[in-house]
């Protein structure tokens, strides 16, 4: 079962919330869906789950078109909406039974399944409480449990770990990882480590437009050059540094310190050391900056804003 999105657009009035996005998620894949607030992530997910209709484009979930076969799509999809809406006046069991019945399970199978999912999501200690008395972390787990109940083949999770403490985040992540085998998972998040911990692939959108869709390792590699922070005892002449072979860019941090970005596959460390000895400078600091997914995210999304 897979998920395909083709030339998807959504207009709110004249505002384009989602602008011509295409990507797909294959079975067994966990794809991280990233983007700054208001980029159109939730809107896209709402269209995939059939809550909103696309203005243009096609969505195919597990072989079914969302507009033509909404019920079939909903039957094989588990969805955890943003903000995790719950019926707060219901008990945990009551809520899960209701969600299960809506999902088309019934009878003793449903009871069995609810017990199983309560165990899987770690709700056991709180299972006899009313939803309104649960803490945010447990509510989130109940929300996740609800989306998994009918054993969906496609999982759409909108910020499943928002508002949780670090321990809870790790646990929820473990659950997602555990259940996601052989499923198609698309999840959005703001936490970059999560992407590294969970995903095979990332899709990044900004202002409704797709800006990246690739394996995480490829994305990090493509950006190539490494970034170094150098500090000399003496004042630096930026122009000199720029002229060195293999240097792509130099930005001054202060008079004595600057950030040097290399061309791809060039190790600047020895070069900088030689430069320092040639000039008779004393090199105080030479630090390699890891090119992280945070900086990648920033580059892809902030840069675009500038234009």
Partner 1 sequence: MIQVFSKEFNGYLNSLIAYIVIGVFLTGIGMLIWVFPDTSVLEYGYADMDTLFSLGPYVLIFLIPAITMKSFAEEKKMGTMEFLLTKPITEWEIVIGKFMASISLTLFALLPTIIYYYSIYLLGEPVGNIDSSGVMGSYMGIGLLSAVFCAIGIFTSSITSNQIVSFVTAAFLCLFVYSGIDSFSTLVSEGSLALQIKQLGILYHYDSMSRGLIDSRDLLYFISVTGLMLLLTKTILSSRQW
Which spans of this chain sit near partner 1 (rule: CB under 8 A)? 46, 49-53, 71-72, 74-75, 77, 79, 81, 83, 85-89, 94, 98-99, 101-104, 146
Distance CA 85, CA 115 (A): 21
Please give the angle made by the CA atoms of 176, 191 and 36, to the nearest 5 degrees. Answer: 120
Minimum gap (Å) between residue 293 Cβ and partner 1: 29
- In order of 15, 21, 40, the CA distances from 207 in angstroms are 10, 11, 7
CB of 149 to partner 1, least distance (A): 10
Nearer to partner 1, 110 or 236 (CB): 110
What is the spatial distance between Cα 285 and Cα 124, in angstroms, rounded to a whole number? Answer: 53
Q: Which residue has the tokens 């019945």?
A: 101
Which residue's structure tokens are 């692939």?
Answer: 201
Instruction: Annotate 268-279 with b (16+ C-beta within 10 A) or e (fewer).
Output: beebbeebbeee
Closest CA to 30 of 251, 258, 186: 186
Minimum separation from the CB atom of position 100 to partner 1 (A): 9
Q: CB of residue 70 vs partner 1: minimum separation in angstroms?
A: 8
Task: Give the neighbor-by-neighbor strand order of the sheet with 3-12.
Answer: 15-25, 3-12, 56-61, 64-65
Quick one: 83 or 298, whose CB is closer to partner 1? 83
Residue with smaller CB distance to partner 1, 88 or 302: 88
Nearer to partner 1, 40 or 225 (CB): 40
The region that residue 151 occupies, defined by phi over 0 for left and psi between -120 and 50 for alpha, beta otherwise, is left
Q: d(Cα 137, Cα 127) in Å, to the nearest integer?
A: 13
Q: How far apart are CA 273 and CA 205, in angstroms?
A: 40
CB of 94 to partner 1, least distance (A): 8
State in angstroms the smallest separation of the CB of 143 from partner 1.
Answer: 9
Q: Residue 36 or residue 152: which is nearer to partner 1 going by CB? A: 152
Nearest to partner 1 of 94, 178 (CB atom): 94
Cβ 85 to partner 1, closest distance in Å?
3
Q: Which is nearer to partner 1, 90 or 266 (CB)?
A: 90
């Amino acid at each position: 079962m897979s998920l395909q999105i083709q030339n998807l657009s959504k207009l709110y009035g004249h505002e384009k919330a989602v602008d011509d996005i295409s990507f797909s998620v294959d079975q067994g894949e966990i794809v991280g869906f990233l983007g700054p607030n208001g980029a159109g992530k939730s809107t896209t997910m709402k269209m995939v789950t059939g809550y909103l209709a696309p203005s243009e484009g096609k969505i195919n979930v597990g072989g079914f078109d969302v507009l033509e076969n909404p019920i079939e799509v909903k039957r094989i999809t588990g969805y955890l909406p943003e903000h995790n809406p719950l019926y707060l006046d219901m008990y945990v069991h009551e809520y899960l039974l209701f969600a299960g019945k809506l999902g088309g399970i019934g009878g003793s199978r449903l009871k069995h399944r609810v017990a199983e999912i309560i165990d899987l999501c770690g709700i056991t200690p709180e299972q006899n409480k009313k939803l309104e008395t649960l803490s945010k972390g447990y509510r989130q787990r109940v929300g996740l449990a609800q989306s998994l109940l009918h054993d969906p083949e496609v999982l759409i999770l909108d910020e499943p770990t928002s508002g949780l403490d670090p321990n809870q985040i790790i646990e929820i992540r473990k659950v997602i990882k555990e259940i996601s085998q052989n499923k198609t998972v698309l999840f959005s998040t703001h936490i970059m480590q999560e992407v590294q911990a969970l995903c095979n692939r990332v899709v990044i959108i900004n202002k409704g437009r797709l800006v990246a869709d690739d394996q995480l390792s490829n994305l990090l590699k493509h950006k190539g050059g490494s970034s170094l922070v150098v500090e000399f005892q003496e004042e630096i002449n930026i122009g000199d540094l720029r002229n060195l072979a293999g240097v792509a860019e130099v930005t001054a941090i202060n008079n004595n310190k600057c950030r040097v970005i290399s061309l791809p596959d060039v190790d600047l460390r020895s070069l900088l050391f030689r430069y320092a000895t040639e000039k008779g400078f004393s090199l105080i600091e030479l630090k390699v900056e890891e090119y992280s997914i945070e900086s990648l995210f920033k580059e892809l999304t902030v840069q675009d804003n500038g234009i």
